[in-house]
Protein backbone atom coordinates (compact mmCIF):
# COMPACT_ATOMS: atom_id res chain seq x y z
CA UNK A 1 0.00 0.00 0.00
CA UNK A 2 1.31 3.39 -0.95
CA UNK A 3 2.14 5.95 1.72
CA UNK A 4 1.65 9.56 0.71
CA UNK A 5 4.09 12.15 1.99
CA UNK A 6 2.43 14.81 4.07
CA UNK A 7 4.55 17.81 3.09
CA UNK A 8 2.95 18.07 -0.35
CA UNK A 9 -0.48 19.03 0.89
CA UNK A 10 -1.49 21.55 3.52
CA UNK A 11 -4.78 21.87 5.30
CA UNK A 12 -5.70 24.66 2.91
CA UNK A 13 -4.35 24.36 -0.64
CA UNK A 14 -4.16 27.43 -2.83
CA UNK A 15 -3.20 27.18 -6.46
CA UNK A 16 -2.79 29.75 -9.20
CA UNK A 17 -3.83 27.76 -12.27
CA UNK A 18 -3.60 28.72 -15.91
CA UNK A 19 -7.15 28.88 -17.21
CA UNK A 20 -8.57 28.96 -20.72
CA UNK A 21 -6.32 31.57 -22.30
CA UNK A 22 -2.74 32.66 -21.98
CA UNK A 23 -3.63 35.84 -20.11
CA UNK A 24 -6.47 34.48 -17.99
CA UNK A 25 -5.80 33.05 -14.52
CA UNK A 26 -8.02 31.36 -11.99
CA UNK A 27 -7.56 30.80 -8.29
CA UNK A 28 -8.67 27.49 -6.77
CA UNK A 29 -8.85 27.03 -3.03
CA UNK A 30 -9.93 23.95 -1.08
CA UNK A 31 -9.65 22.22 2.28
CA UNK A 32 -9.88 18.43 1.73
CA UNK A 33 -10.73 17.75 5.37
CA UNK A 34 -8.71 14.54 5.32
CA UNK A 35 -5.12 13.50 5.98
CA UNK A 36 -2.88 11.41 3.75
CA UNK A 37 -3.31 8.28 5.85
CA UNK A 38 -7.06 8.76 6.17
CA UNK A 39 -7.36 9.04 2.39
CA UNK A 40 -5.47 5.79 1.84
CA UNK A 41 -7.68 4.04 4.40
CA UNK A 42 -10.81 5.45 2.74
CA UNK A 43 -9.72 4.24 -0.71
CA UNK A 44 -9.03 0.77 0.68
CA UNK A 45 -12.47 0.66 2.30
CA UNK A 46 -14.22 1.81 -0.88
CA UNK A 47 -12.27 -0.73 -2.92
CA UNK A 48 -13.24 -3.55 -0.58
CA UNK A 49 -16.92 -2.66 -0.53
CA UNK A 50 -17.27 -1.78 -4.19
CA UNK A 51 -15.21 -4.43 -5.98
CA UNK A 52 -18.32 -6.30 -7.16
CA UNK A 53 -20.58 -3.43 -8.17
CA UNK A 54 -17.85 -1.41 -9.88
CA UNK A 55 -16.15 -4.33 -11.64
CA UNK A 56 -13.05 -6.14 -10.45
CA UNK A 57 -10.89 -5.38 -13.50
CA UNK A 58 -11.15 -1.61 -13.32
CA UNK A 59 -10.91 -1.64 -9.54
CA UNK A 60 -7.72 -3.70 -9.65
CA UNK A 61 -6.14 -1.24 -12.08
CA UNK A 62 -7.32 1.66 -9.93
CA UNK A 63 -5.70 0.16 -6.82
CA UNK A 64 -2.47 -0.59 -8.67
CA UNK A 65 -2.17 3.09 -9.63
CA UNK A 66 -2.93 4.15 -6.05
CA UNK A 67 -0.10 1.95 -4.79
CA UNK A 68 2.45 3.38 -7.24
CA UNK A 69 4.70 5.89 -5.45
CA UNK A 70 4.72 8.18 -8.50
CA UNK A 71 0.95 8.67 -8.58
CA UNK A 72 -0.98 11.78 -7.59
CA UNK A 73 -4.40 11.28 -5.99
CA UNK A 74 -6.97 14.05 -6.46
CA UNK A 75 -9.83 13.97 -3.96
CA UNK A 76 -13.19 15.63 -3.35
CA UNK A 77 -15.96 14.75 -0.89
CA UNK A 78 -19.29 16.29 0.09
CA UNK A 79 -22.16 15.62 2.50
CA UNK A 80 -25.72 16.92 2.34
CA UNK A 81 -25.54 18.04 5.98
CA UNK A 82 -22.39 20.05 5.18
CA UNK A 83 -20.44 18.05 7.77
CA UNK A 84 -17.43 17.95 5.44
CA UNK A 85 -15.14 20.78 4.43
CA UNK A 86 -15.76 20.84 0.66
CA UNK A 87 -19.50 21.51 0.60
CA UNK A 88 -22.60 19.43 -0.25
CA UNK A 89 -22.75 16.73 -2.97
CA UNK A 90 -24.02 19.29 -5.49
CA UNK A 91 -20.75 21.18 -5.06
CA UNK A 92 -18.74 18.00 -5.73
CA UNK A 93 -20.56 16.20 -8.56
CA UNK A 94 -22.11 19.10 -10.47
CA UNK A 95 -23.48 16.77 -13.15
CA UNK A 96 -26.55 17.00 -15.36
CA UNK A 97 -27.18 13.25 -15.52
CA UNK A 98 -26.18 10.07 -13.70
CA UNK A 99 -27.14 7.52 -16.36
CA UNK A 100 -23.46 6.54 -16.70
CA UNK A 101 -23.60 5.52 -13.04
CA UNK A 102 -26.62 3.34 -13.75
CA UNK A 103 -28.98 5.83 -12.08
CA UNK A 104 -31.04 7.64 -14.68
CA UNK A 105 -33.69 8.18 -11.99
CA UNK A 106 -31.80 10.67 -9.82
CA UNK A 107 -30.31 14.15 -9.86
CA UNK A 108 -27.50 15.60 -7.78
CA UNK A 109 -30.11 16.90 -5.34
CA UNK A 110 -30.96 13.30 -4.40
CA UNK A 111 -27.48 12.58 -3.06
CA UNK A 112 -26.63 12.46 0.63
CA UNK A 113 -22.92 11.80 0.04
CA UNK A 114 -20.60 12.10 -2.93
CA UNK A 115 -16.90 11.64 -3.47
CA UNK A 116 -14.59 11.62 -6.44
CA UNK A 117 -11.04 10.29 -6.69
CA UNK A 118 -8.96 10.92 -9.81
CA UNK A 119 -5.56 9.31 -10.28
CA UNK A 120 -2.72 10.69 -12.39
CA UNK A 121 0.45 8.64 -12.84
CA UNK A 122 3.44 9.26 -15.07
CA UNK A 123 5.69 6.23 -14.67
CA UNK A 124 9.46 6.03 -15.01
CA UNK A 125 9.17 5.34 -18.74
CA UNK A 126 7.01 8.44 -19.29
CA UNK A 127 3.75 6.53 -19.82
CA UNK A 128 0.74 8.28 -18.28
CA UNK A 129 -2.09 6.38 -16.61
CA UNK A 130 -5.35 7.80 -15.28
CA UNK A 131 -8.41 6.49 -13.49
CA UNK A 132 -11.53 7.99 -11.94
CA UNK A 133 -13.64 6.61 -9.10
CA UNK A 134 -17.05 8.09 -8.34
CA UNK A 135 -18.80 7.04 -5.14
CA UNK A 136 -22.21 8.31 -4.07
CA UNK A 137 -25.12 7.53 -1.79
CA UNK A 138 -28.73 8.35 -2.63
CA UNK A 139 -30.80 9.75 0.23
CA UNK A 140 -32.85 7.00 1.85
CA UNK A 141 -30.73 4.17 0.43
CA UNK A 142 -28.23 2.13 2.44
CA UNK A 143 -25.91 1.07 -0.37
CA UNK A 144 -23.40 3.26 -2.19
CA UNK A 145 -23.23 3.49 -5.97
CA UNK A 146 -19.59 3.19 -7.07
CA UNK A 147 -18.08 3.17 -10.55
CA UNK A 148 -14.48 3.10 -11.71
CA UNK A 149 -13.38 4.42 -15.11
CA UNK A 150 -9.87 3.77 -16.45
CA UNK A 151 -7.99 5.30 -19.36
CA UNK A 152 -8.21 3.82 -22.84
CA UNK A 153 -4.87 5.34 -23.86
CA UNK A 154 -2.33 7.95 -22.94
CA UNK A 155 -3.74 11.34 -21.94
CA UNK A 156 -3.22 14.31 -24.24
CA UNK A 157 -2.00 17.77 -23.26
CA UNK A 158 -2.57 20.31 -26.02
CA UNK A 159 -1.62 23.87 -25.16
CA UNK A 160 -3.42 24.46 -21.84
CA UNK A 161 -5.84 21.50 -21.95
CA UNK A 162 -5.38 18.10 -20.33
CA UNK A 163 -7.78 15.43 -21.60
CA UNK A 164 -8.14 11.67 -21.24
CA UNK A 165 -10.79 9.16 -22.33
CA UNK A 166 -11.99 6.89 -19.52
CA UNK A 167 -14.00 3.70 -19.89
CA UNK A 168 -16.28 1.93 -17.46
CA UNK A 169 -16.26 -1.82 -16.87
CA UNK A 170 -17.38 -4.01 -19.79
CA UNK A 171 -19.94 -2.21 -21.92
CA UNK A 172 -20.07 0.69 -19.49
CA UNK A 173 -20.10 4.34 -20.47
CA UNK A 174 -17.06 6.17 -21.84
CA UNK A 175 -16.18 9.60 -20.49
CA UNK A 176 -13.76 12.31 -21.50
CA UNK A 177 -12.19 14.12 -18.55
CA UNK A 178 -10.66 17.56 -19.12
CA UNK A 179 -8.83 20.02 -16.95
CA UNK A 180 -7.31 23.42 -17.68
CA UNK A 181 -5.47 23.49 -14.35
CA UNK A 182 -1.89 22.75 -15.35
CA UNK A 183 1.42 23.80 -13.85
CA UNK A 184 2.51 26.63 -16.12
CA UNK A 185 4.92 25.44 -18.78
CA UNK A 186 4.38 21.79 -17.88
CA UNK A 187 2.16 18.80 -18.66
CA UNK A 188 1.62 18.24 -14.93
CA UNK A 189 -1.72 18.91 -13.29
CA UNK A 190 -1.78 21.62 -10.64
CA UNK A 191 -2.23 20.89 -6.94
CA UNK A 192 -5.93 21.80 -7.00
CA UNK A 193 -7.93 21.13 -10.14
CA UNK A 194 -11.39 21.21 -11.64
CA UNK A 195 -12.31 18.21 -13.78
CA UNK A 196 -14.89 18.57 -16.55
CA UNK A 197 -16.69 15.42 -17.70
CA UNK A 198 -18.10 14.71 -21.16
CA UNK A 199 -20.08 11.72 -22.38
CA UNK A 200 -18.20 10.10 -25.28
CA UNK A 201 -20.41 8.28 -27.80
CA UNK A 202 -20.86 7.54 -31.51
CA UNK A 203 -22.31 11.02 -32.09
CA UNK A 204 -19.39 12.79 -30.43
CA UNK A 205 -19.27 14.36 -26.99
CA UNK A 206 -22.01 15.70 -24.71
CA UNK A 207 -21.21 17.84 -21.70
CA UNK A 208 -22.12 16.13 -18.39
CA UNK A 209 -20.82 18.66 -15.89
CA UNK A 210 -17.85 18.96 -13.59
CA UNK A 211 -16.17 17.86 -10.41
CA UNK A 212 -15.83 21.36 -9.11
CA UNK A 213 -12.67 21.19 -7.01
CA UNK A 214 -10.25 18.33 -6.32
CA UNK A 215 -7.21 18.50 -4.04
CA UNK A 216 -4.06 16.60 -5.03
CA UNK A 217 -2.04 14.34 -2.73
CA UNK A 218 1.43 13.23 -3.94
pLDDT for 53: 54
pLDDT for 49: 78
pLDDT for 43: 95
147, with CB counted inside 10 A (0-12, 13-18, 19+), is buried
Reading the chain (218 residues) residue by residue, the pLDDT tens digits are 443 433 333 323 333 233 323 333 444 567 888 999 999 999 999 988 775 555 578 999 999 999 999 999 999 999 999 888 899 999 999 999 999 999 999 999 999 999 999 999 998 888 999 999 999 999 999 999 999 999 998 899 999 999 999 999 876 689 999 999 999 999 999 999 999 999 988 788 999 999 999 999 98
pLDDT for 19: 30
CA gap 102, 115 in Å, rounded: 16
Domain boundaries, the chain: 12-217
pLDDT for 17: 32
CA gap 117, 99 in Å, rounded: 19
pTM of the model: 0.85
Q: Are 212 and 194 in contact (CB under 8 A)?
A: yes
pLDDT for 203: 81
* Segment (H or E) for 45: helix 36-50
Amino acid sequence: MKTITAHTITIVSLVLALFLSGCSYQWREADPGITDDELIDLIAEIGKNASVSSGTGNMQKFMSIVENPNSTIFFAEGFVDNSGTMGPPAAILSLLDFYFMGREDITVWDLSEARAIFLDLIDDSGVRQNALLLDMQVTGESNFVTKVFVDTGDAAVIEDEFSVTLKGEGAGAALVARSYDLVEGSDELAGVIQLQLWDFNDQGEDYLGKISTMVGFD
